[in-house]
Amino acid sequence: MSYLAKNYNRKKISFKRGRGSYLFSTDGKKYLDMLSGIAVNSLGHAHPKLVKTIKDQSKKLWHVSNAFQIPEGEQLAKKLCQKTFADYVIFQNSGAEATEAAIKVARRYFYSIGKPNKTRILCIKNSFHGRTLATIFASGSKKMTEGFGHVGGFDHFTFGNHNSLKKKITKNTAAIMVETILGEGGIKVIPNWCLKELRKLCDKKKILLILDEVQCGIGRSGDFFAFENSKIKPDIVPIAKGIGSGFPIGAVLMNKKVAASMTPGTHGSTFGGNPLAMAVGNAVMDIVSSKKFLKNVKKSSKYFFSNLNNLKEKYPNIIKEIRGRGLLIGIQLHTDQTEFIKKLMINKLLTIRAAENVVRILPPLNVKKKEIDMALKIIAKVCSELK
Ligand SMILES: *Cc1c(COP(=O)(O)O)cnc(C)c1O
């Protein structure tokens, strides 16, 4: 009997140890982990540098209030700003908190320039921005919002429907918020030309562009941020998942235009930006943001994609499409993916589902070539069994 509420349909497997791209189960089996806690363990499990960082920092200082200066947080914010479009950062502890903060910043900006009615956020129907009350209504998914009353302030358009997008912008729209690459929604990449048009549209309508990079950011796409590929600059970017490589960290990055409205008292978080989390964030950032590291993510990605596309050619009745960018990979099947994922797991490869019959492959960003080969071999085996 479990005393945990039943809000998850958990697989009957647990792990006692992790090392790099591998997880070791309590029943003594070794699994190749290609879901990485859903794009979280960006440097794999128990990375020696991160283990040392946590050990060292835990002996010094874990938590102090944001009433004081926190040098570790100052450092990480500086690194994030120097590496990206951002001028300022506010730290949180999770992705949903970061997207909520992004919404607050957008609304507060318009309030501060004397346009308090501009509060509405325009989102993609059935996207994913987290599980708080506001963010489930941002997603607009029936499944996620059913039974949870109503939180207003969000409008929706269909992915790829540019006419509906333009029509849904009203005088009360404050921002458009989209995932640069839709994760839960099925690894759907917003093409560069679309992102460019989106930026132009926001400029023309004098509204803000929020790009949710909680899943696709922090090197996952092969660039530090997925939108960098399109050369555009958003106004606000929530991040989380990969920046802590397993330690809970969230943040909202913003330009100075909007940051000016976030005056003392407008936002806060007890745990957000604590020294222990920030020490880990700094260590992850130092590794992931290097040119060499990102170049290697691109190299691994190219190898993975070309081989997966070969499998698609070989098994066209099973695999419909290989989607994604970098090491955010979706294998879209023609039919429901449950059996496929189960068979991968029996063969010791861990993956996770996404919408539209997609099997999500999210290896650690420092995955080795021989581990990719092993995954490809298992995927090929399962394809041949299901054919
Ligand atoms: C996971 C995710 C979130 C929510 O993050 P949590 O840490 O689970 O709150 C928000 N946006 C996107 C795009 C995500 O993938």
Write the pLDDT tens digit of every residue in 30-73: 999 999 999 999 999 999 999 999 999 999 999 999 999 999 99
Residue with CA closest to ligand 1 atom 10: 129
Which residue's structure tokens are 């660039």? Answer: 223
Single residue among 232, 260, 288 that ends a domain in this structure? 288
Closest CA to 74 of 52, 86, 90: 90
Return the ligand 1 atom nearest residue 215 CA.
Answer: 15
Query: What's the pLDDT score for residue 309?
Result: 98
Helix H or strand E encompassing 380:
helix 369-386
Pocket probe mutation, ligand 1, options 42, 128, 249, 360, max atoms within 8 Å of Cβ: 128
Position 218 pLDDT exceeds 90 = yes
Q: Is the dihedral of CA 377, 383, 386, 387 positive or negative?
A: negative
Taking Cα atoms as reference points, which of 98, 154, 166 lies closest to residue 126?
Answer: 154
Which atom number of ligand 1 is nearest to the Cα of residue 131? 9
Using the mean position of ligand 1's atoms as its centre, give its distance from the Cα of residue 130 in Å: 5
Question: What is the pLDDT of the chain when averaged over all its residues?
Answer: 98
Neighbour count for residue 138 (Cβ, 10 Å) = 31
Number of Cβ atoms within 10 Å of the Cβ of 15: 16
On whether residue 3 sits in a domain, the answer given is no
The C-alpha atoms of residue 280 and residue 124 are separated, in whole angstroms, by 33
Query: How far from 116 is each of 153, 189, 343, CA to CA, in Å?
Result: 13, 33, 53
Residue-level pLDDT at 344: 98
CATH of the domain at 213: 3.40.640.10
Same domain, yes or no: 133 and 269? yes
Task: Please indicate, yes or no, whether residues 268 and 348 belong to a single structural domain of this protein.
Answer: no
Pairing of strands 120-124, 154-157: parallel
Domain match, 284 and 303 both: no
Residue 300: give its domain's CATH number: 3.90.1150.10
Residues 96 and 243 in one domain: yes
Residue 127 maps to a domain: yes
Q: Are residues 23 and 39 in the same domain?
A: yes
Phi/psi at 151 (5° precision): -120, 120
Interval between CA 106 and ligand 1 midpoint (Å): 18
User: What is the domain extent for residue 336?
Assistant: 15-47+291-386
- Ligand 1 geometric centre to CA of 313 (Å): 33
Q: Among 244, 261, 288, which residue terminates a domain? A: 288
Whether 42 maps to a domain, the answer reads yes
* CB of 225 closer than 8 Å to CB of 213: yes
Same domain for 120 and 196? yes
Residue 66, in any domain of the structure: yes
Whether residue 10 lies inside any domain: the answer is no
State whether 204 and 279 are in the same domain. yes
Cβ pair 252, 230 in contact under 8 A: no
* Single residue among 235, 266, 288 that ends a domain in this structure: 288
pTM exceeding the 0.85 threshold for the entire prediction: yes
CA–CA distance, 88 with 72 (Å, rounded to integer): 15
- Give the angle subtended at the CA of 177 by the CAs of 324 and 121, to the nearest 5°: 155
- 1 assigned to some structural domain: no
Q: Are 40 and 88 in the same domain?
A: no
Partners of residue 181 on adjacent β-strands: 189
For 372, the token pair is 């990719």
Q: pLDDT tens for residues 132-154?
A: 999 999 999 999 999 999 999 99
Q: Which residue in this structure is represented by tokens 């839709």?
A: 182
Cα 325 to Cα 81: distance, rounded to the nearest angstrom: 24
Q: Which residues line ligand 1 (CB under 6 A)?
A: 94-96, 99, 128-130, 179, 183-184, 212, 214-215, 240-241
Based on the domain organization, do 235 and 146 belong to the same domain? Answer: yes
* Residues 298 and 154 occupy one common structural domain: no
- In this structure, the answer to whether residues 380 and 237 fall within a common structural domain is no
Please report whether residue 131 resides in a domain. Answer: yes
- Token pair, residue 193, equals 């030309």
pLDDT (0 to 100) of residue 387: 82
pLDDT per residue as tens digits for the range 253-307: 999 999 999 999 999 999 999 999 999 999 999 999 999 999 999 999 999 999 9
Residue 199 located in a structural domain: yes
> Quick one: pLDDT at residue 128?
98
Distances (CA, A) of 126 to 159, 163, 283, 288, 353: 9, 18, 34, 30, 15
Do residues 43 and 57 both lie within one domain? no
Q: How many independent structural domains does the chain possess?
A: 2
**DSSP assignment letter at 191:** P
